[in-house]
């Protein structure tokens, strides 16, 4: 197998990521760097697309220099440039895509446009403990909640998805209802640890639906109703609601994921995306897996968020699977793009 050096660029939302991956028999992540815009957007209570795009422009060159320095590599050593083509914010995607295509044109190497969710889905392959194809994947983030059957690189079958809010979106919106800052998902999970079990019982949407789809908007509404009923709530009541919310959403995710594994006949489950870092979700999945002898795989915590490493990896695996990439130059981004159509 020929050794290839692949640069990965991520700019789909509010993180600018850059990484260098060496594709060979084992595969090695040589270096990665990430800049988060969380502090910049916190004042607005959410991501401001125009500000996100402008910040990506400022960060790409310094991150590239950092990755090259950390890996002791030069631009002339690159064999391909992979970048996130979608889905995501159109302006943010355009910044990364234009930079990648211009760089590849100057170097005379192909580009590999990558689906953002494919990067998340394959990110556990960056860990020391790696799954083997085929496996079932639970993709849970601020923008997506899906269950996929993964037969190999580029071979994805949708098993179920959210019909409204994504799991991470529900976390963030519920956190806002409870008066927590942005981004609220991690803050809500931390607050939930102080909550008293059993005091707040919230609905488990679609738990008994008979399929593998999700729905989380009703759960968010249930929290709003509870907050309005209580009026002025104490810190302990806020923690109890957070605990009840997390308990409900984790139960649904765990139940559906394990059901997907059972129906698929497979014995491996991959959990990826930002919500995949949730400690309670991991604890419950690990406990169920131990009883049912299912192997559960997670990316390292640093790769649960958006990052360049997962894009470099996905691009390298695409090339190893026979994808020759595309000639650099002309390009288009895909803000909306189903993974099964990638």
CATH of the domain at 187: 3.30.420.40
Same domain, 28 and 78: yes
Q: Domain range holding 291?
A: 129-298
Burial 247-261 (b: 16+ CB within 10 A, else e): bbbbbbbbbbbbbbb
Same domain, 83 and 195: no
- Read off the pLDDT of each residue in 177-185 and give the average, rounded to a whole number: 89
For the chain, the average pLDDT equals: 95
Same domain, 134 and 106: no
Same domain, 287 and 255: yes
Of residues 286 and 143, the one with the higher pLDDT is 286
Residue 341 has pLDDT above 80, yes or no: no
Same domain, 330 and 281: no
Same domain, 16 and 112: yes
Angle between the N-to-C axes of helices 279-292 and 235-264, in degrees from 0 to 180, rounded to the nearest 10: 40
Residue 28 has pLDDT above 70, yes or no: yes
Residue 142 has pLDDT above 80, yes or no: yes
Q: What is the pLDDT of residue 168?
A: 93
Same domain, 272 and 257: yes
Same domain, 255 and 325: no
Same domain, 145 and 272: yes
Residue 46 has pLDDT above 80, yes or no: yes
For residue 238, cis peptide bond before it (omega within 30 degrees of 0): no
Question: Mind listing the pLDDT tens digit for each residue in 221-237?
Answer: 999 999 999 989 999 99
What is the number of domains present in the chain? 2
Position 146 confidence tier, pLDDT thresholds 50, 70, 90: very high
Residue 273 has pLDDT above 70, yes or no: yes
Same domain, 194 and 91: no
Q: What tokens appear for 46 in the block?
A: 């959410």
pLDDT-above-90 percentage for the chain: 92
Same domain, 274 and 174: yes
Q: What is the pLDDT of residue 45?
A: 86
Same domain, 294 and 326: no
Residue 264 has pLDDT above 70, yes or no: yes
- Read off the pLDDT of each residue in 183-196 and give the average, rounded to a whole number: 94
- Read off the pLDDT of each residue in 196-203 and give the average, rounded to a whole number: 95
Q: What is the pLDDT of residue 1?
A: 59
């Amino acid at each position: 197998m020929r050794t290839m050096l692949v640069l990965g660029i991520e700019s789909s939302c509010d993180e600018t990521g850059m990484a260098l991956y060496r594709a060979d028999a084992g595969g090695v992540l040589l270096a990665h760097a990430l800049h988060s815009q969380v502090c910049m957007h916190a004042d607005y209570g959410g991501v401001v697309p125009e500000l996100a795009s402008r910040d990506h422009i400022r960060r790409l060159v310094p991150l590239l220099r950092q990755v090259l320095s950390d890996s002791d590599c030069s631009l002339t050593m690159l064999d391909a440039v992979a970048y996130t083509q979608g889905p995501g914010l159109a302006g943010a995607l355009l910044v990364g895509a234009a930079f990648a295509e211009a760089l590849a044109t100057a170097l005379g190497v192909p580009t590999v446009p990558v689906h953002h969710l494919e990067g998340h889905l394959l990110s556990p392959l960056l860990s020391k403990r790696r799954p083997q194809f085929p496996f079932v994947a639970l993709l849970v983030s601020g923008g997506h909640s899906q269950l996929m059957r993964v037969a190999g690189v580029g071979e994805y079958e949708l098993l179920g998805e959210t019909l409204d809010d994504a799991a991470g979106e529900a976390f963030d919106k519920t956190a806002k209802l409870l008066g927590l800052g942005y981004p609220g998902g991690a803050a809500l999970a931390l607050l939930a640890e102080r909550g008293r079990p059993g005091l707040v019982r919230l609905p488990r949407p679609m738990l008994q639906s008979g399929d593998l789809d999700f729905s989380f908007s009703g759960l968010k509404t249930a929290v709003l109703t509870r907050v309005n009923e209580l009026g002025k709530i104490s810190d302990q009541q806020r923690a109890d609601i957070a605990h009840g919310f997390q308990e409900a959403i984790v139960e649904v995710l765990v139940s559906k994921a394990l059901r997907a594994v059972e129906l698929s006949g497979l014995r491996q489950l991959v959990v990826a995306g930002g919500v995949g870092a949730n400690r309670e979700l991991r604890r419950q999945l690990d406990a169920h897996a131990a009883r049912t002898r299912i192997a559960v795989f997670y990316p390292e915590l640093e790769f649960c968020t958006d990052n360049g490493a997962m894009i470099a990896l996905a691009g390298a695996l695409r090339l190893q699977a026979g994808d020759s990439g595309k000639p650099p130059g002309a390009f288009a981004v895909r803000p909306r793009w189903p993974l099964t159509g990638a």
